[in-house]
Structure 1
Amino acid sequence: MTSGFSLKDQLFNQKKTRYLAGLFAAADPGFDPARFEADVMAELPDLELKQRISLIADVLSRHLPEDLEAAAPVLKRALPPPLDPNLRDDDFGDFIFAPLGEFVVLRGLDTAPELSLQLLSEITQRFSMEWAIRPFLTRWTDQTLAEMQRWASSDNYHLRRLVSEGTRPRLPWGQAVPLDLAQPLPLLDQLHADSTRYVTRSVANHLNDISKKDPDLVLDQLRLWQQAGRQDPKELVWMTAHALRGLVKAGHAGAMQMLGYDPDAPVTAKLSVADTPVHIGGALQFDCALDGPADAPVLVDYRLHFQRPGGKTSAKVFKLKQTTLKAGRARLSKRHPLKAGASTFTLVTGTHHLEVLVNGVVRASLSFELLDQAD
């Protein structure tokens, strides 16, 4: 039987461990790469992804000098050349360097914040330290923010991005940080005019996080940036849409207006399901006819209310179309797959509801029965 794709095995495996061991052996003649590899591989196969990061960091701490000041020169010499600083966009780098950040947290969080932050600034140019920086924001808030203020002016865009990404309130996989939502805004204000999409995407994602709790704070900040005119207008349009995507899904009127869509536009919609019955494993095919003012811009989403076990329901919003009502009308169609056996969301038979939202407002709805998978 063919096994499925494993992210943890792709990112952390024997080959990657051997590569990391080789870097440290080249940096320190006393480092035993075979022993390091054996110590890691004795436990690694049974662990999940984040546990593997912690394991490698822990094993590394046994193979390097106990004092961070003594270990720091070895770590620096072991680092490969930085990621290309001339690119306008990039990924995190190589995940095998994530344990280096965890090692710095283990050794330096309580006693050596200045050296630790300096090391993280070096490592992040090989792999993003957005998770490792967060314990320092918690333990040494003022000192870390002051360092981030300097990083925000760095020539290296990986350091600039770390300022935004490391302070995000809802960073995936990242621990919470004790910052008021508005506290990082002066840093984001500096970064929003960045010429690198890798940085501006992080800034927009940061605002999207904030919007979950304080939409008005985000809208006010975007208005200030529009007035400042420091960012390329096209890039700021992209950033604004990316920052407001959560509010758009929620139908927030202020977000719609900022993006140029009128929630009060007199648009009507007619909705129909093309094929019935609808089965798990098949697809929901529906058509939507819109009528309204000529050339009116419309952002059209659809929301499915799924049956859940125990009679409950859950709703999900999906993108449909951004368009204008040419001659006052638009005709839209969508085929929404209803996969059987999905690992992330199990479909349940019963009455489901479909809504079409235009500029954040429900304009049409209908119900349909979802039946078991057809033979």
Structure 2
Amino acid sequence: MTQSTPLKQSAMNPTRVESLAEDLSRVEPGFDAAGFVTAVVAQLPQLELKARISCVADALAAYLPDDVGATTSILVAALPPHDDATFTGSDFGLYTYAPYSDFIARYGCNGENLDSSLAALKQMTKHFTAEDALRYFLNAFPSETMKAVAEWSHDPDYHVRRLASEGTRPKLPWSPRITLPADAAIPILDELFSDNSRFVTQSVANHLNDISATDPELVLATLGRWRDSRNQGRKEMEFIVKQALRTLVKRGYPGAFAFLGLSIAPAIEVIELRLDPAAVAIGGGLGVDCTLRATSTTTERVLIDYVLTYPRPGSGQGEVVFKGTTVELAPGESRTVSRIQPVRSTSSRRLSPGAGRLQIQVNGRRIAEAAFELLPSR
């Protein structure tokens, strides 16, 4: 089996460092490209991804002018050409340029350089998302930064518009937490939900999903306003709603199902739930066959999720909800839905051998369960 290259090595490696050095040399003739590359490459092997990015940023500070504003100008000038009309790269961008915004966050987040730093992030995010860096400014200079973010929400470049939503997310994964209220960016999202770029609307939906952890009613009210405005196409609005409510649906929040036009107490019963095999090794797949029947006098439309309860290393149990499928059942109709449910450990979910169970969740209500045995990985 061919092993994939770890992200830290593909994202920030000697080749990418050399590429940066070449770009910088073209705009700053006095730049010691060889010394810069040597200093960085010597440190990379023992560093993880974020540390690699910071290592390059520190080297930029060491090999470019002491004046942060001057270095910021050099970094912006060294960026390759970018034209949205012909852009063919990754929406997220190339990790090659991640150290640029990291430099701005750690060296340019101050009153003296505030305007030039924010202007630089606007340009840098077109080449690699500056969402991490922006959060330092939101914490240190919330009013000034949110004013810039509001302007970005109208920018012609969709990378910049996406930064306005993504950088202000309350729970942006793997990023610094921000001290703004969770609803601080609702006016920004009001501008962006009707965007014509999926890269932007995906971020808007994820932003609302973050807010749902603390204020689900605000999320429902906001989605209702947007849907009623008809400023977004029907299919894209359906996408935003589905993505924004995904955590509330998994949690079984009644208001989410009401918003989707679904019953919170559907007349559905499980007449058979079968797991095959009944014992599965960690990393394997659990076969699930579930037969449901509608007991109502009208057609029932239901969302089926799968709740996996598993033993954790040491003691205790963990739980995770997996998205299933949507089915419509006519009165008295029975139907079997089947899937192979992966049972594997992840960086945030560690499984241990022992007794587990799988529950069927229908429109947020758990109506059937079956036990299985989790075996050591092979």
Q: Please report the TM-score for the alignment, with normalisation by the length of structure 2.
A: 0.92
The answer on 1:71 being equivalent to 2:71 is yes
Tell me the equivalent position of 1:157: 158
Instruction: Check the 8 A contact 1:83/1:126 in 2, yes or no.
Output: no
Instruction: Check the 8 A contact 1:271/1:366 in 2, yes or no.
Output: no
**Deviation of residue 271 (structure 1)?**
3.5
Structure 1 residues 255 and 26: alpha-carbon distance in aligned structure 2, compared to 1, 3 A threshold = same
Moved more, 326-335 or 173-182: 326-335
Tell me the equivalent position of 1:28: 28
Q: Which amino acid aligns with 1:329?
A: S
CA distance in structure 1 between the partners assigned to 2:150 and 2:346 by the alignment? 44
For each residue in 1:71-115, what CA deviation from the matched residue of structure 2 results, as whole angstroms up to 9, or x when unmatched? 233222211012635679952111111110111123321221011
CA distance in structure 1 between the partners assigned to 2:74 and 2:347 by the alignment? 43
Instruction: Check the 8 A contact 1:90/1:198 in 2, yes or no.
Output: no
Instruction: Check the 8 A contact 1:165/1:202 in 2, yes or no.
Output: yes
Structure 1 residues 83 and 8: alpha-carbon distance in aligned structure 2, compared to 1, 3 A threshold = farther
**Deviation of residue 130 (structure 1)?**
0.5
Moved more, 211-220 or 345-354: 345-354
Tell me the equivalent position of 2:192: 191
Tell me the equivalent position of 1:178: 179
Residues 1-375 of structure 1 aligned to structure 2 (within 5 Å): 5-82=5-82, 84-85=84-85, 90-110=90-110, 111-280=112-281, 282-292=284-294, 293=296, 294-326=298-330, 328-339=333-344, 345-372=349-376
Equivalent residue of 2:131, what SS? Answer: coil
For each residue in 1:46-92, what CA deviation from the matched residue of structure 2 results, as whole angstroms up to 9, or x when unmatched? 11100011110000011111112322332222110126356799521
Q: Which amino acid aligns with 2:287?
A: Q
Structure 1 residues 198 and 283: alpha-carbon distance in aligned structure 2, compared to 1, 3 A threshold = closer
Q: Which amino acid aligns with 1:22?
A: E
CA distance in structure 2 between the partners assigned to 1:237 and 1:365 by the alignment? 31
Structure 1 residues 90 and 243: alpha-carbon distance in aligned structure 2, compared to 1, 3 A threshold = farther
For each residue in 1:279-315, what CA deviation from the matched residue of structure 2 results, as whole angstroms up to 9, or x when unmatched? 3155322211111145321110111111223441111
Instruction: Check the 8 A contact 2:91/2:159 in 1, yes or no.
Output: no
Instruction: Check the 8 A contact 2:194/2:231 in 1, yes or no.
Output: yes
**Deviation of residue 367 (structure 1)?**
2.1
**Deviation of residue 346 (structure 1)?**
4.5
Structure 1 residues 165 and 172: alpha-carbon distance in aligned structure 2, compared to 1, 3 A threshold = same
Structure 1 residues 312 and 203: alpha-carbon distance in aligned structure 2, compared to 1, 3 A threshold = same
Structure 1 residues 271 and 86: alpha-carbon distance in aligned structure 2, compared to 1, 3 A threshold = farther
Q: Which amino acid aligns with 1:317?
A: V
CA distance in structure 2 between the partners assigned to 1:222 and 1:4 by the alignment? 40
Equivalent residue of 1:304, what SS? Answer: strand
Instruction: Check the 8 A contact 2:182/2:211 in 1, yes or no.
Output: yes
Instruction: Check the 8 A contact 1:192/1:200 in 2, yes or no.
Output: yes
**Deviation of residue 278 (structure 1)?**
1.1
Q: Which structure 2 segments of 5+ residues have no match?
A: none
Structure 1 residues 82 and 373: alpha-carbon distance in aligned structure 2, compared to 1, 3 A threshold = closer
Q: Please report the TM-score for the alignment, with normalisation by the length of structure 1.
A: 0.93
* Equivalent residue pairs, number: 373
CA distance in structure 2 between the partners assigned to 1:142 and 1:90 by the alignment? 31
**Deviation of residue 370 (structure 1)?**
3.4
Instruction: Check the 8 A contact 1:349/1:372 in 2, yes or no.
Output: yes
Structure 1 residues 221 and 90: alpha-carbon distance in aligned structure 2, compared to 1, 3 A threshold = farther
Equivalent residue of 1:178, what SS? Answer: coil
**Deviation of residue 2 (structure 1)?**
7.5
For each residue in 1:251-295, what CA deviation from the matched residue of structure 2 results, as whole angstroms up to 9, or x when unmatched? 111112212321112111133324354131553222111111453
Q: Which structure 1 segments of 5+ residues have no match?
A: none
Equivalent residue of 2:276, what SS? Answer: coil
**Deviation of residue 149 (structure 1)?**
1.1
Instruction: Check the 8 A contact 2:249/2:256 in 1, yes or no.
Output: yes
Q: Which amino acid aligns with 2:358?
A: L
Moved more, 177-186 or 17-26: 177-186
CA distance in structure 2 between the partners assigned to 1:52 and 1:371 by the alignment? 38
Structure 1 residues 331 and 169: alpha-carbon distance in aligned structure 2, compared to 1, 3 A threshold = same
**Deviation of residue 337 (structure 1)?**
3.6
Instruction: Check the 8 A contact 2:84/2:157 in 1, yes or no.
Output: no
CA distance in structure 2 between the partners assigned to 1:257 and 1:2 by the alignment? 47
Equivalent residue of 1:298, what SS? Answer: strand
